[in-house]
């Protein structure tokens, strides 16, 4: 019989805070993480704002050499992993686990894109000799998982998932399977992204994917609102400690929730646009519920992919209505990206963590910036205010460029 997998640790570095507690408190309060871009001078860009991580202090856990040799996305990942491992009471208790059965899976959409840009400029402006010898190990997407593995001596499965905005949702699904199948007891899994760079912002802006509300960044991300005009870039990391339930209970670990199931599909339709009928999203949600052994009527909250794009939000809403029928009007279908922005490859893990916290606390975060109702997006999104409600099962949707769809099912701890 497959083993049950539970969440025993959370670590978050987000535009709303550099810990799980500060992030969650800001989320429930409905605060926006958006503001003017400070990481580079955006004066020439048509988009000059984003949801940046603020006041991040990597020197608290990295020495000077590491700071020079680790891209920002890896620094975010290590910061989140540090918190998650402490939170799971593993930091000083590695003697209680078999490190050969502890794995690390960190997803990312872009890897060390800032390092890539810096070294391209060095090559073009100063020549080959000025390219850093650390460029490849700083840039490669798998480096965050490798660094966390080496930091804690985790010798189990170790790799990176890269599937655009579904990357870290795929990492959690893979980690779940590895524990279920008996190939690991503990998985340190999640995602990290630091793509608020001149090249990445210019590319997303030029494809008209980003909101251009430069005059009011805090209200720019407005999923499901009739006047939504694109997503807001965000960055940060989310790391979850997943564990075989029996293993967790034997060592007396606290349990946030159960990661109960997953569904993974492909649209096979378009490199950036969602399938108009949302068929891939529908199947991902159905498969996740089937895998978790739950009925649609048991789902009380769906953390939507909900990026604030005109077509994406309406297609996802239509998919939820098709899958849930009349029950779609009884659950809350909200988007926390209205506050965090879109963390790209790290979004899935961040939002799965939010689902676990919502189930544990009995509080569902709001979808802020709801001003003008859209008839095509008419489900209850907890508009502008958090909702107190006991929920047994939550789903988290992540849909990436390329048509990659992942839905995770999270069940309230018994």
The SS3 assignment for 10 reads strand
Are 65 and 75 in contact by the 8 Å Cβ rule? The answer is no
CA 182 vs CA 104, 172, 381: distances in Å? 15, 16, 38
Alpha-carbon distance 142 to 106, whole Å?
A: 7
CA distance 258 to 144: 25
Query: So which residues are the catalytic ones?
Result: 165, 305, 342
Q: What's the DSSP call for residue 274?
A: P
Alpha carbons 9 and 363: distance in angstroms, whole number = 19
**327 membership: H or E segment, kind and range:** none
**First vs last Cα of the chain: how many Å apart?**
19
Angle, vertex CA 78, rays to CA 74 and CA 79, nearest 5 = 115
Tokens 């969602």: give the residue.
274
Nearest CA to 4 out of 255, 223, 367 is that of: 255
Please report the sign of the dihedral spanned by the C-alpha atoms of residue 207, residue 210, residue 211, residue 216: negative
Q: What is the DSSP letter of 246?
A: H
Pair of tokens at residue 278? 């949302």
Exposed / middle / buried, residue 61 (Cβ in 10 Å: 0-12, 13-18, 19+): middle
Task: Check if the beta carbon of residue 122 is closer than 8 Å to that of residue 67.
Answer: no
Cα 405–2–145 angle (5° rounding)? 55
């Amino acid at each position: 019989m497959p083993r049950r997998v539970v969440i025993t640790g959370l670590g978050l570095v987000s535009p709303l805070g550099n810990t799980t507690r500060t992030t969650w408190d800001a989320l429930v309060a409905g605060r926006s993480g958006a503001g003017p871009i400070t990481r580079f001078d955006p004066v020439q860009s048509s988009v000059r704002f984003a949801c940046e991580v603020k006041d991040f202090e990597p020197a608290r856990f990295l020495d000077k050499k590491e700071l020079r040799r680790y891209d920002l996305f890896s620094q975010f990942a290590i910061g989140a992993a540090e918190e998650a491992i402490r939170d799971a009471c593993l930091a000083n208790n590695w003697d209680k686990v078999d490190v050969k059965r502890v794995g690390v899976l960190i997803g990312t959409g872009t890897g060390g894109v800032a390092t890539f840009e810096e070294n391209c400029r060095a090559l073009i402006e100063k020549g080959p000799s000025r390219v850093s010898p650390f460029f490849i190990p700083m840039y490669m997407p798998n480096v965050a998982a490798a660094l966390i593995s080496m930091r804690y001596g985790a010798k189990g499965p170790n790799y990176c998932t890269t599937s655009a905005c579904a990357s870290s949702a795929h990492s959690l699904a893979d980690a779940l399977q590895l524990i279920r199948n008996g190939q690991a007891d503990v998985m340190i899994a999640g995602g990290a992204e630091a793509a608020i760079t001149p090249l990445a912002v210019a590319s997303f802006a030029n494809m008209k994917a980003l909101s251009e509300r430069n005059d009011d960044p805090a209200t720019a991300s407005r999923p499901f609102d009739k006047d939504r005009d694109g997503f807001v870039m965000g960055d940060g990391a989310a790391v979850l400690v997943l564990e075989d339930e029996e293993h967790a209970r034997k060592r007396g670990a606290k349990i946030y929730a159960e990661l109960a199931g997953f569904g993974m599909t492909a649209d096979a339709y378009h490199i950036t646009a969602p399938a108009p009928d949302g068929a891939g999203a529908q199947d991902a949600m159905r498969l996740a519920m089937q895998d978790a052994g739950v009925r649609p009527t048991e789902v009380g909250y769906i953390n939507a992919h909900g990026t604030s794009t005109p077509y994406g939000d309406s297609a996802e809403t239509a998919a939820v209505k098709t899958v849930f029928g009349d029950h779609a009007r009884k659950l809350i279908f909200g988007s926390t990206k209205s506050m965090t922005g879109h963390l790209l490859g790290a979004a899935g893990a961040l939002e799965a963590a939010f689902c676990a916290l919502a189930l544990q606390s009995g509080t569902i975060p709001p979808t802020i910036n709801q001003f003008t109702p859209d008839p095509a997006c008419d489900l209850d999104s907890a508009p502008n205010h958090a909702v107190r409600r006991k929920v047994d099962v939550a789903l988290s949707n992540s849909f990436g460029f390329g048509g990659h769809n992942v839905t995770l099912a999270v069940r309230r701890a018994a």
